[in-house]
Amino acid sequence: MKKYEAITTDQVFQLICNSSVCIMNYQTSLIPSTAMAEILKTSTYRVKKCLKELKEKGFVLSGCESVYSSWHEQYFIVRGYYLTEKARETETYKEAEKKEIELINKCFGSDEMKGGAE
């Protein structure tokens, strides 16, 4: 039987913030609950419980996007969750954004990245 890690709503929120600001985020700001569960080594059920709480706080919304892959020469449907403007005003988001900008500057030697990484 698979053992799942216990997680908190804060961990899920931190993951979504980190994913949202990441320069490597490919064409979409959505992150599926299944991907969150895999990253956090827990069940999709536990992640969805946390997402429900974040939705009630007004921090995340669910969405669906069509993303074109030039490598596969086709569109993929991506369903997942993204941050609201209210979430982008939190300290958690601002700290994630700051760390991503520092990483970009360290890797590419650029001081031009003043805004968000999205």
How does pLDDT run along the chain (118 residues), one tens digit per residue?
A: 678 889 999 999 999 999 999 888 767 789 999 999 999 999 999 999 999 999 999 999 999 988 888 888 898 888 999 999 999 999 999 999 999 999 989 888 866 555 554 4
What lies within 8 Å, CB to CB, of 8 at 6+ separation is 50
- Please classify residue 3 by burial: count the beta carbons closer than 10 Å to its beta carbon, then call 0-12 exposed, 13-18 middle and 19+ buried: exposed
What lies within 8 Å, CB to CB, of 90 at 6+ separation is 17, 59
The dihedral formed by the CA atoms of 46, 34, 37 and 3, expressed in degrees to the nearest 10: 80
Domains and CATH numbers, the chain: 9-87 (1.10.10.10)
pLDDT for residue 89: 97
CB–CB of 79/29 below 8 Å? Answer: no
Q: Count the alpha carbons within 13 Å of 85 in the hemisphere toward its beta carbon.
A: 0
CA separation for the pair 91, 18 (Å, rounded) = 12
pLDDT for residue 113: 53
Q: The dihedral of CA 25, 26, 32, 37: what is its sign? A: negative
pLDDT for residue 72: 82
Q: Which two tokens stand for residue 21?
A: 């600001």
